[in-house]
Amino acid sequence: MRLVLRSKIHNATVTTANKSYIGSITIDQELVEKSGLWPGEKVLVVSNKTGVRLETYVIIGKKRSGVVCMNGAAALLVKKGEEIIIMGFELAKRPLRPKNVLVDKKNQFVRYL
């Protein structure tokens, strides 16, 4: 078994950074559905600005709101306005075809990559 990429939201823009929250990343429900992520799923988040990489879990945000909110300690590492990549992985015996979602500057679905 290998850990392989299953889901990716590419070039999302952080809309809010909420240090007061307990933890996680809040993502627009439509993007979660299109990428195949699950609520509570562990994800890797990478900042395209600083290169910071962190792990957290998914919380569902309002559908078609464009919300991508870094919560808790993650908000200290990735700030509002930063462009990020959000990735989910799966243990698999064979290669997977990941659902790679490209979004625009307002975090609206553009196309599958």
Give the residue numbers marked as catalytic.
24, 57
User: Could you tell me the CA-to-CA distances from 50 to 46, 54, 65, 79 in Å, in that order?
Assistant: 8, 12, 25, 10
Residue spans of beta strands (DSSP E) within 16-98: 16-18, 24-28, 42-47, 53-61, 68-71, 83-92
- Centroid of chain to Cα 113: 15
The burial class, CB within 10 Å (0-12 / 13-18 / 19+), for 97 is exposed
Taking each continuous run of H as one helix and of E as one strand, the counts in the chain are 2, 9
